[in-house]
């Protein structure tokens, strides 16, 4: 295990001691002197390793409860000295500075302390590392001469690089430096974000919830992988994870996920998670072809698929329950591109595997009990979209007004002479939860447990109704008589409501809020429709 002669001193000071002792032994075996601080030095000494205390390097004891220990020219001079500069080396020699060739540092666990709302402010401040980031940044700046390691995951690769005849490559050094700056960047971002939640009073510091839309929005995204291309073959694309409450999908089988697959899987999961009862949705181009509930997952899926069987071919399926054998058999009976569900039963996996190219994915944060899936959709989080010259940021749209049963104290208001029947109430709530996820302008028709026709992404609500009727007519065996309708925003004129009535709907749910609401209510009364206002719009652009 040869190593270049000048690679002789390593400084180790870590909070995360995973793999530390084995790594330090590897360094010692390769001829490194180990310099260390505080708890790290104690851990190494207890493992039988010879350690030079940082106080022996600086000539000063660690002081002020460890606040001051590495901030010294004999430390930073040893890291920052450029080996290619004779004047730097002469200065180091003149002041008795020994060069440090490897820095192993990860920082105080500030994020862990901040995640606990009961952490006192003074204790939180003590978790703000000062010397650690300085060491990391100094070593990363001088990466040409100093290796910097901030993650235990890199320990094996560092030892392998040291064993190379020519030593660690320039590219390897630079990759470690980039990780180091990202590490300190995330650390500072966590501190700034946490301090933004704290108010300084005359006698105490009060900690509150972080603002949903802060004055600045640092976004830390880590590339998972490059994708074959974006929406079109001429567009480059990649998948990044790490921002917001939904950290992506774990692939159980199938071909590589594409850009559009991921968009559709996200849309499918959002709709499926709206429901606490077994539910299924089939997606095409982020819009539902069909959505349904059932007594069991297989029944819900077949209903959703058959709501628009033609469009469902090659679609993306979302479920809110574990895929069992019956559901797996139903899924593989036709061509489906991808499926997302909280989990897959072991018995169902061979059934799905018969369609080797079909992607089967589960969320990384799927609940252990799949029956809880329907309660997981309520987290807020942020959504970010780029525009020319900037970014648009909003909180996630959650259909909170439909979380409880309808009718209810938190449900919509009846605005017509006729009250909805019990079955219409059930159907209206179902329709509203699906309609919120259909691209605007949207008008959909449903029964109490399945979609019947969906008019999505039209320029007017009359056109949306026409599209829905066209879809129903194309099904051949479909009638909208007795259905309920949902409109994601208000009807600006009565013509949209007249179109809904002409299609056969008997009840309507919409937000209300138009200057012509009374005209639209009057039209509903003329047609004998029941209509309810939710008071909340759900545009989806």
Residues forming the active site:
141, 285
Question: Are the CB atoms for 315 and 283 separated by under 8 Å?
Answer: yes
Cis ω on the peptide bond leading into residue 407 (within 30° of 0)?
A: yes
Q: pLDDT class for 242, splitting at 50, 70, 90?
A: low
Backbone angles phi, psi at 484, to 5 degrees: -110, 160
Is 318 a residue whose pLDDT tops 70?
yes
Using DSSP, state whether 443 is helix, strand or coil: strand
User: Environment class of residue 65 by beta-carbon count within 10 Å: exposed (0-12), middle (13-18) or buried (19+)?
Assistant: exposed
Q: DSSP secondary-structure letter at 98? A: P
pLDDT tens string 86-103? 998 898 889 888 899 999
Q: pLDDT class for 370, splitting at 50, 70, 90?
A: very low
Residue 242 CA from chain centroid, whole number: 6
DSSP collapsed to 3 states, 96-156: CCCCCCEEEEECCCHHHHHHCCCCCHHHHHHCCCCHHHHHHHHHHHCCCCCEEECCHHHHH
pLDDT tens string 39-68? 889 999 999 998 888 888 877 777 787 777
Q: DSSP secondary-structure letter at 68? A: B
User: Environment class of residue 233 by beta-carbon count within 10 Å: exposed (0-12), middle (13-18) or buried (19+)?
Assistant: exposed
- Residue 227, CA distances (Å) to 55, 257, 281, 312 in order: 50, 8, 25, 25
Question: Are the CB atoms for 472 and 479 separated by under 8 Å?
Answer: yes
Considering the domain delimited by 400-533, tell me its CATH architecture: 3-Layer(aba) Sandwich (3.40)
Q: What is the pTM of this model?
A: 0.77
d(CA 462, CA 354): 44
Q: Which CATH number fits domain 9-198: 3.20.20.20, 3.40.50.1820, 3.40.640.10, 3.40.50.1380?
A: 3.40.50.1380
Across 64-80, average pLDDT: 82
Q: Does the structural domain 249-379 have CATH classification 3.20.20.70?
A: no
User: Environment class of residue 536 by beta-carbon count within 10 Å: exposed (0-12), middle (13-18) or buried (19+)?
Assistant: middle
d(CA 484, CA 508): 6
Question: Of all residues in the chain, what percent carry a pLDDT higher than 90?
Answer: 62
d(CA 35, CA 39): 12
Across 116-145, average pLDDT: 85
The residue ranges of every structural domain in the chain are 9-198, 249-379, 400-533
9-198 and 400-533 share one CATH topology? no
pLDDT tens string 411-421? 899 999 999 99
d(CA 517, CA 512): 7
Single out the residue of 302, 228, 307 nearest to residue 261, CA to CA.
228
d(CA 170, CA 178): 12
For 408, how many CA atoms within 13 A lie in the half-sphere containing its CB?
12
d(CA 17, CA 426): 55
């Amino acid at each position: 295990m040869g190593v270049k002669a000048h690679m002789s001193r390593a400084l180790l000071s870590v909070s995360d001691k995973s793999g530390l002792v084995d790594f330090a032994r590897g360094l010692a075996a390769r001829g490194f002197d180990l310099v260390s601080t505080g708890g790290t030095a104690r851990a190494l000494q207890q493992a039988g390793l010879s350690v030079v205390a940082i106080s022996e390097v600086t000539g000063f004891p660690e002081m002020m409860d460890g606040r001051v220990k590495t901030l010294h020219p004999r430390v930073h001079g040893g890291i920052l000295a450029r080996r290619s500069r004779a004047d730097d080396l002469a200065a180091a020699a003149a002041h008795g500075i020994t060069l440090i060739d490897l820095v192993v540092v990860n920082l105080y666990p500030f994020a862990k302390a901040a995640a606990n709302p009961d952490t006192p402010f003074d204790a939180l401040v003590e978790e703000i590392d000062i010397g650690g980031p300085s060491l990391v940044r100094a070593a990363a700046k001088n990466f040409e001469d100093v290796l910097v390691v901030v993650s235990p995951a890199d320990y094996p690769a560092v030892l392998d690089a040291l064993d190379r005849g020519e030593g660690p490559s320039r590219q390897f050094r630079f990759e470690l430096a980039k990780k180091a700056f990202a590490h300190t960047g995330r650390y500072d971002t966590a501190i700034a974000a946490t301090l933004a939640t704290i108010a300084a009073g005359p006698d105490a510091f009060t900690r509150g919830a972080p603002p949903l839309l802060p004055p600045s929005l640092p976004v830390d995204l880590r590339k998972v992988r490059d994708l074959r291309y974006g929406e079109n073959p001429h567009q480059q694309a990649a998948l990044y994870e790490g921002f917001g409450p939904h950290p992506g999908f774990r692939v159980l089988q199938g071909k590589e996920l594409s850009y559009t697959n991921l968009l559709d899987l996200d849309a499918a999961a959002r709709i499926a998670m709206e429901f606490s009862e077994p539910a299924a949705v089939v997606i095409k181009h982020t819009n539902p072809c069909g959505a349904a509930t059932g007594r069991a997952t297989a029944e819900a899926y077949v209903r959703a698929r058959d709501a628009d069987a033609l469009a469902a071919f090659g679609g993306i399926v979302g479920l809110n329950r574990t895929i069992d054998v019956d559901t797996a058999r139903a899924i593989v009976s036709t061509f489906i591109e991808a499926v997302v569900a909280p989990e897959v039963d072991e018995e169902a996996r061979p059934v799905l595997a018969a369609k080797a190219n079909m992607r089967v994915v589960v969320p990384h944060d799927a609940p252990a009990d799949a029956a809880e899936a329907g309660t997981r959709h309520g987290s807020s989080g942020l959504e970010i979209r780029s525009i020319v010259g900037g970014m648009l940021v909003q909180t996630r749209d959650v259909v909170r007004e439909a979380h409880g049963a309808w009718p209810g104290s938190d449900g919509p208001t009846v605005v017509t002479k006729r009250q909805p029947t019990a079955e219409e109430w059930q159907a209206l709530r179902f329709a509203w939860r699906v309609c919120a996820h259909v691209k605007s302008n949207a008008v959909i028709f449903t029964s109490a447990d399945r979609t019947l026709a969906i008019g999505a992404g039209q320029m007017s609500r009359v056109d949306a109704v026409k599209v829905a009727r066209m879809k129903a007519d194309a099904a051949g065996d479909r009638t909208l008589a007795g259905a309920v309708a949902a409109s994601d925003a208000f009807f600006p004129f009565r013509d949209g409501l007249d179109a809904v009535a002409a299609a056969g709907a008997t009840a309507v749910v919409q937000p209300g809020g138009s200057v012509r609401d009374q005209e639209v209510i009057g039209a509903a009364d003329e047609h004998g429709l029941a209509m309810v206002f939710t008071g909340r719009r759900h545009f989806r652009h």
